[in-house]
Amino acid sequence: MRKLSFFAIYALILLSASQASAQLLQQFNFTGALGSEVSLAPDGQPANGSLGSITRGSGIQPSAANNVFSAKGFTTDPAVVDSADYFDFPIAANSGFQLSLDSIVFGQKRSNSGVRSYVVRSSLDGFNSNLKADSGTVVISYKNKVVLGSQFQNMSSGQNLRFRFFGYGSGSTTGTWRLDSVRIYGKILPGGGVVSKPKLSFSPNSASFTESAGNQNTSVLISQLPSVAIRPAIYVKGGTASAGPDFTAFDTIGVAMGPGLPLSLNLPVGFLDDAVQESTETLVLVLRKRGLASDTAFDIGADSLFTFTINDNDVITPPSGPAIRTIAQIRGADSGNQADSVGKTFRVFGTVYGHNQRLSATTGGYQMFIRDASGGIGIFKNAPVSGITSLNEGDSLRVMGKIECFRGLTQINPDSMVVIATGRPIKTPVVVNNLSEVVESGLVRINGLQVNPTTWTTSVGTGFTVKAFNGVDTIAIRIDNDCELFAQPAPTGTVDIIGMVSQFVAGNPTPTAPFPATGYQLIPRRGSDVVVVTAVNSSSNFSRVIQVVPNPGTDFVSLESSLDGEFLVQLSDLQGRILRQFDSVNAGQKLDLTSVSNGIYLFRFPKTGKVIRWIKSGN
């Protein structure tokens, strides 16, 4: 048995005596803990106050270990504290009471490759100054005391107070650091003013990372325990990153926070590494209330925005030969709708869009589109290129060839092509009203179209051109014989159509520059590019259980439905822009549309995916 020296015994007696002079408010004992829990509640609540669960920062991950709260993934930097690598808990006095803290005493353990240094900080100064710091920590140490100064005395119930234990200088990212126990000493006495509402905020409010780093987290904290469980929402507010190609959809609601629940949450966001060389992109998130009764239990702090900055990691080594250009540079300045680079040879990188319209041609070849971050251009070759047996949408290409303009469509005639990758993400179609040079070689969507069935000549020739009307413009839809729509009957009712924008200026002999701004065509890629819009006179089951009446209508309409519950209802124009939103609509409830001009609109029901075409015809 190891013997303690007289001085060690005397030090323990002094420490015990100092702790005995202050009241133990509450503690985390972690008895029976697995170590890897997302959060752990305290052993109980202090009288006249609240102590929240202990959680981890977004930079570290749970790690299993008995009777402790454990984590791994701490920064290996021996000199810099990472603002996301911490253990955290909140404490507050109830309304009408004041909190005075004397000290925090805790035990800590680390693995052999765990953190070598730690600091303890508080929210009183934004986690900037050290209340305690220790470097070269031993593997296990108990009764580490954080002495709290006068700034922690007589704090009213409205003051925000959190403590964080930051670990750094880890021997490796798999090394662990664990809190063995945490005890809070002080007192809570009557006094203070009216309690302010707990405030919800991002902390920190930004993160910057390289595109290849993958999934990221953002932390949401609440300043003190709310009176009831709350469930805030997180939405995309803006930024230049796009859902699908740059990041995946995520749960905007998250988990509940409040009594007996964590007072912080980590929202995971999945980021994708594409093979496109592009500029730095951002994703801005915002905290919002959801219109629930529990919203009155908290406020949203001023720092309710979070910005992800995505740094591109795609570096392309220029090959020898013709110059490399972006598609925007190739299209460049033009005269008479013809690019000034026609006749020149370039190398270009991009992703294949659309289907190959020359698969059924006798000589084979390629007729489709490629796009990079700057724009799109057609590919045309009336014979196969060596080494390329097929091209599919999502293939990432390096193309070398001559720039041409055929009947107004700018395209590259490849001398050589190399497939760099397959299955690359395709960007979301842009919603437009009509076709023009601005969207040539782009993937677009036109909503609310009525197809002229007399122009839909199923399975005739190498393709046929269909006329469709959206209430304002007539759109030319080209159905190619290599598309599955070629053998299908004409769609009826109202449809949304997705496709690639091409141009074919008619005339004999073949027209040359300057080209008129005519002949634009929408080319669907597959059967699913024609999306049926449910109309009020449809015989579908949905139309029988929900209708908007009257249709056509004027300033007020009603929702009629045999379904129970409330509906989220959105009114959009034919470009898909949301003009009005009604969050909780019951059957029979009137909707005020006096501010909407006469025209054709779409009523959308997001929870069901259904759309109803509606006409406002005047007073």
Judge whether residue 7 has pLDDT over 50. Answer: no
Q: Rounded mean pLDDT of the chain?
A: 85
Structure confidence at residue 10 (pLDDT): 40
Q: Can you list the positions of beta strands (E) in 223-365? A: 233-238, 264-269, 281-288, 299-300, 305-311, 345-353
Structure confidence at residue 320 (pLDDT): 61
| Distance (Å, whole) CA 256 – CA 289 | 13
Counted residue by residue, the chain has a size of: 619
The listed range with the strongest mean pLDDT (18-27, 437-446, 545-554) is 437-446
Structure confidence at residue 19 (pLDDT): 42
**Region 28-42: what's the mean pLDDT?**
95
Contacts of 263 (CB under 8 A, 6+ apart): 52, 53, 55, 90, 221, 222, 224, 225, 257
Q: Is the Cβ–Cβ distance between 221 and 162 less than 8 Å?
A: yes
**Region 351-366: what's the mean pLDDT?**
83
pLDDT tens digits for range 532-548: 876 443 334 444 467 88
> Can you tell me whether residue 70 is helix, strand or coil?
strand
Residue 366 vs residue 191, higher pLDDT: 366
Judge whether residue 498 has pLDDT over 90. Answer: yes
- State the pLDDT confidence band at 14, using cuts at 50, 70 and 90: very low
Cα 493 to its chain centre, rounded Å, is 34
Q: Is the Cβ–Cβ distance between 503 and 408 less than 8 Å?
A: yes
Mean pLDDT lowest among 150-159, 396-405, 451-460, 497-506: 150-159
Judge whether residue 22 has pLDDT over 70. Answer: no
Q: Is the Cβ–Cβ distance between 394 and 424 less than 8 Å?
A: yes
Query: Which alpha helices (H) appear in 465-602, and where do they start and end?
Result: 541-545
Contacts of 163 (CB under 8 A, 6+ apart): 88, 89, 91, 104, 120, 121, 122, 123
Mean pLDDT lowest among 147-161, 189-203, 507-521, 604-618: 189-203
- State the pLDDT confidence band at 254, using cuts at 50, 70 and 90: low
Beta strands at 206-210 and 305-311: parallel, antiparallel or unpaired: parallel
Judge whether residue 18 has pLDDT over 60. Answer: no
**Region 457-483: what's the mean pLDDT?**
88
Judge whether residue 166 has pLDDT over 90. Answer: yes
Structure-token pair, residue 128: 């900037």
pLDDT tens digits for range 546-576: 788 888 888 899 888 777 778 888 998 876 7
Judge whether residue 110 has pLDDT over 90. Answer: yes
Judge whether residue 303 has pLDDT over 80. Answer: no
Mean pLDDT lowest among 170-174, 208-212, 525-529: 208-212
Structure-token pair, residue 278: 């592009």
- State the pLDDT confidence band at 5, using cuts at 50, 70 and 90: very low
Residues 596-611: b if buried by 16+ CB within 10 A, e if exposed: beeebbbbbbeeeebb
Residue 11 vs residue 534, higher pLDDT: 534
Judge whether residue 604 has pLDDT over 70. Answer: yes
Q: Which domains does the chain have, with CATH numbers?
A: 17-190 (2.60.120), 199-311 (2.60.40.2030), 320-531 (2.40.50.140), 541-616 (2.60.40.3080)
Q: What is the residue whose two structure tokens read 């999934």? A: 215
Q: How far is CA 415 from CA 332, 365, 386, 400, in A?
A: 22, 12, 9, 6
Tally Cβ neighbours within 10 Å of residue 282.
Answer: 15
Please report how many Cα atoms fall inside a 13 Å half-sphere around the Cα of residue 368, on the Cβ side.
Answer: 25
Residue 487 vs residue 562, higher pLDDT: 487
Apex 474 CA angle, 472 and 476, nearest 5: 150
Q: Which residue from 402, 225, 211, 394 is spatially nearest to 308, judged by alpha carbons?
A: 211
Structure-token pair, residue 144: 């580490």
Judge whether residue 227 has pLDDT over 90. Answer: no
Residue 20 vs residue 316, higher pLDDT: 316
pLDDT tens digits for range 128-165: 999 999 987 778 888 899 999 888 998 887 777 999 99
| Distance (Å, whole) CA 53 – CA 30 | 11
The listed range with the strongest mean pLDDT (61-70, 316-325, 566-575) is 61-70
pLDDT tens digits for range 278-296: 888 999 988 888 888 888 8
Share of the chain above pLDDT 70, in %: 89
| Distance (Å, whole) CA 196 – CA 417 | 65
Q: Can you list the positions of beta strands (E) in 248-395? A: 264-269, 281-288, 299-300, 305-311, 345-353, 366-372, 375-381
